[in-house]
Structures are given as structure tokens and as C-alpha cells.
Structure 1
Amino acid sequence: MSLDMILMDEQGETIHATIWKNLIDNYKPRIIEGSIYALSNFKVQEDARYQPVKNLLKIVFVYNTNVKELDADVIGLLTKIKKLKSRIIMKNTANPRKRDIREIELLISKDDTVRITLWGDLAHSLNEDVVGKHTVVIVTSTMVEGLQGTLSLKSTNGTRLYIDLDISETWKLIDRVPYEETVPKLMEVDKSTKGTIQEQMFYNRRTLQDITQMRHDNPTDQDFVFTSKATIEPLENSSWWYMSCNVCNKMCTKVASKCHCRKCNACPEATTPRYWIRLQISDHTETTTCSIFDDEAQKMLKMTITDLLDSLNGKSEEIPKVIQQLCGKTLIFRFMLKDQTLIEGKEYYLVKKTFEPDEKLELQYSNRQAEKESHGRSLSDLQIRSGGRRGRPGGRQQSPRAPPAGGTRPELRTPRAKRTQLQQNRRETREPPLAGADAGRSAAARRSRADGAGNMRRRPAVSML
């Protein structure tokens, strides 16, 4: 038995790493996925049996391997900046606080970008005045939030931000990329949260089958927020809450009688309970699981986690009745698909918001969708008919009409002009050359003669002018 992982260096090269069974307890609490570490005193050997990456070598931890977590320092050209927002932190405590945040994006190499979330006073270090101006930003002592897709960082208490320092690295960055590609722009707002409640309920509406089968190699290049109408199935997972660290907000685990935070690698002085409800949901196409966290769960249950825990009198291992009553309820779920789902295919669907369905609006939406499908089929049939030869009555095929000898026919704009020209074209292309007595007769006289003989021509059916 061993603990295996894949490590990636600053050049993007990967290598397989192994911690054997007797050392797992020493290193597992100190290594968090997505964090950055400096490793030393390890063994390198050939990876003969199991090769999860192309590298033929692997790292093996030994008893004196050093693992030191590093803060990330970044220098890059500012390419995107979001408007300032506010967020309430520590909501379920006696001292909730409001903090400002701003998200920025930096170009750190020709093809690589990093997104950084700035908290508190740092969020005010940059504003919309930089839009359209070449700006080099240096951010120090950040923490890694994620590595899948685009690298994401967030500021810490020790983070410092510097703008347009007159150093050689600044000028190297400016010379490396054309000016037009690195002028900062305002990041687009999340369209799924804009508009009326009715518009949000139907934003990117999909079936569960559509959502669970969705894959993408580069999730950062478009919006992966969808809504779906689904029914909550009977609850099977008894886990519905967790204790979080007040320093990093990550989940804590019980070690003896204390809570231990793996992210901080310490026992925090204060912790906060938070909702984490895992539901099984289904529609007419698919059944899957989803997760609803603190804020949205509180809105859905209309009760804070603290009040709910107090009402259970210490019996927090059981699923509360108020959560069990969700079974059978039909809601509209707004999902945000993460990299784990889009790239790796993991069943992880995060619910950002829920809505009570309005049957009248749902019926109107269904009718609009049916009309779109019907219109799409009609256009497809029309394209098929117009792409080939048009049929004549009796199953005979009408030959393509050749343009008159003078060249292509002029475009006719009025229905009457089109009809007149069409009749003239028929006479030019279908009537045989005249000879003998018929040559001096008028067209009307010839048609009258043909009618009298019982030889009336059948006019070809024309479905569209």
C-alpha cells in the first residue's frame, strides 16, 4: 500500500511520486493537493511497474524527506480586472465581517495566465483606471487555490502588490508580447446572475444527461453555468455538515478530541460549522449527485446551521427532518461545472442557486422549445427540397430551367413580375418550334385550338416563387 501523487514543476514537467505505507502518517497531513512545496532529501528511481505520466523516473519519499510549503510570487502583465465586490465572511459566527474582493488576471508567459483574488485593502490597490493601459503587476506571498485549467491564487495577510516597478523584469515582459494583446480589459460579469429571476431560471437550460456528458479540454474559454429542472431522490448519504477552519475556511477533521486543519497543518483556535448537503437528483434523462454548500443550503432550508445543530441536542450524525423533507421536491438547480468534471470526467456538480419552478413559465418555455424544434425541422425539409430538383405532378421530374440566350435572368422583386417572367420562361423552354399553318397564329389562338382538340397542357405545380 502506498500514497501516490503527480508532481509538476515550474516548467510544467510532471513526475510520479510515492510515499510508502510506513511513512503515510508522517507526510499525508502536510501535503495538500494544489499547493506548492519545496522538496529535498528524496530518492529517485526508475518507474518500472506503474507509469501515470510519460516520465520514466519517479520520486520516493524517505524518512528524512523535507517538505516545505511555499508562498507563490507572481509577475505578469495585467490582462483582465473585475469590478470590486463585497462578501460576508464568518457568517455563522458571533462576529460576521464584510470584506471587499477583486479578481484580476495576469499573463505570466506567452501562453499562460494566472487568476488572482485580492482580498481586503489589496482589492483597492487596482481599479478600473488601469483599463486600456499597459500595466505590469507583481504579487507576492499568495496561496494556491487551484491548478486545473488555469492557475488560481488568492492573497494572504502577507501578500504585497506592486505596480509598474522600474526593474529589468518589467521591461522584459513588456517587450515579449505585442501591446494590443496585453491592454487590460474589464472581465465579463457572470451573465447567469443577471436579469430577472425568470431569466435566471432558464439560463442555459439543459437536461441532466446533457450536463453529465459534457466535456471540454479548455474550460476557461467559455461559460459553464447551466440550469436544470430535477427532482430530489431519497437521501442515502448521512453526511450533511462539516467543521471549517476559521483561518482558511477548509474542512477540519477530528484528531483525538481536537479539530485538525490539513491546509494549515495545525489545530485552529476557532472553527465554524457549515452545510455540505449531498443530494441525488433525477429528471427524465439521468440521475446524478450534486453538492449544496453553506449559503445556498441555508436559503433552501430557511435555517442557519447553528440553529439546526442546536435543535438536534447533540444528535448531529442523523439527517435532520428538515433535510429529509426535501425528498420528492422538484427544483431548478443552477450548476457551475468545474475542471474535475469537464476535463477528468468526475461526478462533481456544485449547486450555486436553486429556484422554485413556476408551472406557467415552464409551460411557456416548453412551448417555445417545441416551436423552435418544429421551425428547425421545417427549415431542414425546405433546404432538402430546394437542394434537389422540384417534383411535378404524377411523379415526373422537372428539368432544370436554362437561362435565356441573353445571359442570366435579372432579379425580379415583385410577385407579379416573378409570375410574368415565370410564364414567359415556360413558353420559351417548353413550346416546340412552330411550322406550317400554326406559325402565323397568335398564342391565344393556338391555345384555343389545343383546348378544342382535348389536348390541354397540365401546368406544372410551383410550391414557392
Structure 2
Amino acid sequence: MNSSHKLLNQLTVGFDSKKIKVRVTRMWDAINTNTGDVFALEMVLLDENDNHMVAIVPKNLVQRFRPQLLEGDVYILEKFRVTPRKQSWNVVHNEHNIYFTYTTLVKKLDGRMSSIKFHKFEFIYFNDLSSQCQVFTFLSDVVGRLSKVGAIYEVSKSNGTVKKRDIAITNKSGESINVTLWGTTSNQFDDETILVSDQPLVLVISSVTVKQFRGSYYLSSTTATRVYMNLNISKVADYLNCIDSTASQTIEVLHPQKTQEAIQQLMFKNRKLLSEIYKIMAGVETEELVYTSKVTILKVDFNSQLYYKACPKCQRKVTLEGSNFVCNAWNQNVEYPKLRYMLKVLASDATGSAWFVIFDQEAERIIEHKLSFVLEEFNKEGFSNEIVSSILNKITWKPFVFQIKLNNYNLELVIDLQ
């Protein structure tokens, strides 16, 4: 170790001008779940002696330091403040936190040859979870084989809707525990990997809370939660080595209970013909209404854009202002916009026809291909590409029961119910 560098366990409360050499092993936006506001950028730092500590970039400095920091890279940091850890929601067991200030200096190093590990977790055994139930001083890290996985769906909360996914992991003894992944954490799964994998999938899930429902414990994600699949660490290797590769490792696919129970009712709830919907539209100004309608897709609009760039938080379209993408809903710059399907189709029933806009997950479900694959083919030759044309034309002349959102004279498909 360079004597000019301090180790994390040598830091004391106060302003420190000494340098530390650390790897950023995890990084996340600390979000107020009630308002959706980002109030800090937080990360886990790890040094060459395997000490780790949370570092916090306060809200007023996030835009300044975010471009300088990347998860997995090694940095020299100096001129920061060391404070006592928070009273609750701590990600690692350390009595101190690092706070970035206006004077903090960040210098990136070549981390490929560094002796600092890429990951460190504080795993808790399943039989010790009860001691952490409703205790929020420190969050928990867990590891287990993925045994159940559900689809992403939306649930209503007091401040709007939020995405949710239910999964289950199993330990070496065959004990399982359910895990609820909320918000953007639900998107950290690679569904394609799950479907095509020919080996067991071991998950590392960081920074969860332990809760209890009807006598059973379950885990719930936080804004700091990260989900890793078959991560290259010894703990995961131990799991993979003890799993019988000849035994069935089938992952049970769960369906949201609410959708499963209500699907037949939804198919006939507010069922309208297109001619009836047009009459309703004539009297609608800003009111938003939802109906179901059985229609046949006649054609895909090949003149419309197949996708749009969206804010990962609210899924709304971002605009390019200068060299930055901006989410007007959040009034924030978006460093990495998400590409979302925006498929425009002409559909009809016996009484008329209408253009529908189908977004993201529903478009993917109908097309049966991820947007990344379609765009890769599209970029070769555009809509003249035989693969793209065949994929999109495959959905024509097929009947669907659509749940339709009527909003400001637009028809937006909410969910394909058939």
C-alpha cells in the first residue's frame, strides 16, 4: 500500500485531505419513494484491504460528480468529509460514511490490474432473517438459487403506480424465501437469460429489508438493491458446485395473482364496439377512460417510428436539448435514456377501424421479440429487411382483446388480454 493513501478503516470523523484508493463496487440513486425525487447519489467503496464504506454525493453536487464516477472503476479520492453513519438504512457495517464536498477531488485509475476486488457483500443466512425483521438499521445481502420468477406488473399506491416483480430464491438446504422487487429493481432481471439458461441461476441480492406477512418472512428491495446473476464470486461458486447438475432446476413462472384472478372479468369489463368508442370520443376533452374491445389488427404503420427514447424512471419521452437528454416530467437530465417500443397499428371490428399505439411490454408481448433484436435487424435495411417485415406482419389479421385507454382523442393499448 502506498503510504500516502489511507485505508478506509483509518478514517476518522471530520474533513480529511488524505487520499484514499478505492473501487466503486455499487452505485445507486437514493430516492424519496413518496415523491420520486433523487436526494443523493450513493455508492459502496472498497479498498485493497477489503474494507468497505458508503460514500454519499449530496443532491446539490450530483450533476457535478455523476459524470466522473462509474461503477466498477478504481479512483483516488481526496478532500472529503467523514461523518458518523446514518441511523437507519445502512448498506454496509461501518460506523462512518464519506460525504463529497465542493472541494472533493476524483482521479480515475486503471482498475484492471488493481488488487481491489470488484465485489463484497455481507450475506445473512435464511435462518437468521427473523432477527432482521422490521429492523432497518442495516440492510441485508442474500444469496440463493432462483426458483420462482414472476412477470413485472404495476400496483397502485397513494402517489401513483409502481412496478413490482415477485420471485423466490432457495438456499443449499432447499429452504425458499420470497423476494419482492420494486420499481427499477424489477428490471434488473434478464428474462432472456432465464429462458435460455441450461444451468442453475444463483442470485446475489443486496440491500434488502426483511418483513413478515401472515407468519412468513419475505424480502423487499430498496433503492440500493442490486440483483446479480451467477456473479463471479466464491459464494456463488460454492452454490453452483453443490447443486446437482443432473437434477431438474426448473424455474417456476409465477403470474401476478390479481391479473390471474381478474383476467376473465377484464376481458368483458366495459366492452365496447369501435363505433361506440368513437361516439364517446366525440364528447371527451381531457377525461381518461378505459374500455375493452375485440379487434383484428389489419396492418402495421411502417411510416411511424418503431420506438422512442424514454426516461427510465417515468417511461415518458425525453427531449434532446443541446447535448443532453432531458425528462420534462422530472426536470432532470437523463444520462442513459431507455428505448421503448411505440408500435402504431390499424385495427378493426365489424363497426369500424382505428389506429392504436402499443407501447413497450405489450408490444414486445404481441411481437414476441425484444426491441433490441428488432432494431438490430431494422438498422441493416430498415422496414425492407425481410426479418423485420415478417416479424411485424405476423401480428396482422389476428384477433385480440385489447384494454384501451382513451385519452385526449388517442387510443392507447394498455394490455393485450388474449
Output the TM-score relative to the length of structure 2: 0.35
Q: Which has the higher helix share?
A: 1
TM-score (norm 1): 0.32
